Amino acid sequence: MNLLKEKITDQSIIQKLIPQRAPIVMIDALLYFDDTKVISGLTITDNNIFVQDAYLTEPGLIEHMAQTVALYTGYHFYIKNIPAPEGYIGAIKGVHIERLPKVSEQLETEVKILQEIMGVTLVKGIIRLNGEVIMSAQMKTVLKK
């Protein structure tokens, strides 16, 4: 069941959902949220620090996926009126990148929560571009204590 009533694109609200700040914000929309899944959006801009030669680089895709995990955690905290916690990538494996997205293209990233315990979240994520999967990976994130 989608616990999100309508998608969130207001950047002042997005800033409350994730701990990252400019110039490293890699989320511009919360499209879906429930207890086991979150879907984020990002339109690639030419001023993104991970853009090189008009393409979002591999580290940019990985950071976008990590911030999608942060968005999942942050929204949980937001609905309780608590600031989004900081965290970091603990591990990443099985990264498969089909292609890099270009400036002005819109990414839709789906993260499924596999396990969440004591501040550690294990997820499987995919990044889509126009419905085509362009990246998949498994990621473990850890909340900063």
pLDDT one-digit tens code per residue, 16-45: 999 999 899 999 999 999 999 999 999 999
**CB of 138 within 8 A of CB of 92?**
yes
Other C-beta atoms within 10 Å of 94: how many? 9
Query: Residue 105 phi/psi, 5° resolution?
Result: -80, 155
pLDDT of 84: 85
pLDDT of 136: 98
Mean pLDDT in residue range 59-79: 95
Tell me what the pLDDT averaged over the chain comes to.
Answer: 95
Indicate if the pLDDT at residue 117 is higher than 90.
yes
Other C-beta atoms within 10 Å of 56: how many? 25
Indicate if the pLDDT at residue 53 is higher than 90.
yes
pLDDT of 83: 87
The residues, any chain, with a CB within 8 Å of residue 66's CB and separated by 6 or more, are 89, 139, 141
pLDDT of 2: 64
pLDDT digits 0-9 by tens, 91-105: 999 999 999 999 999
Other C-beta atoms within 10 Å of 142: how many? 14
CATH fold of 11-143 = Thiol Ester Dehydrase; Chain A (3.10.129)
Break the chain into its structural domains and give their ranges: 11-143
Higher pLDDT, 52 or 119: 52
Mean pLDDT in residue range 133-141: 97
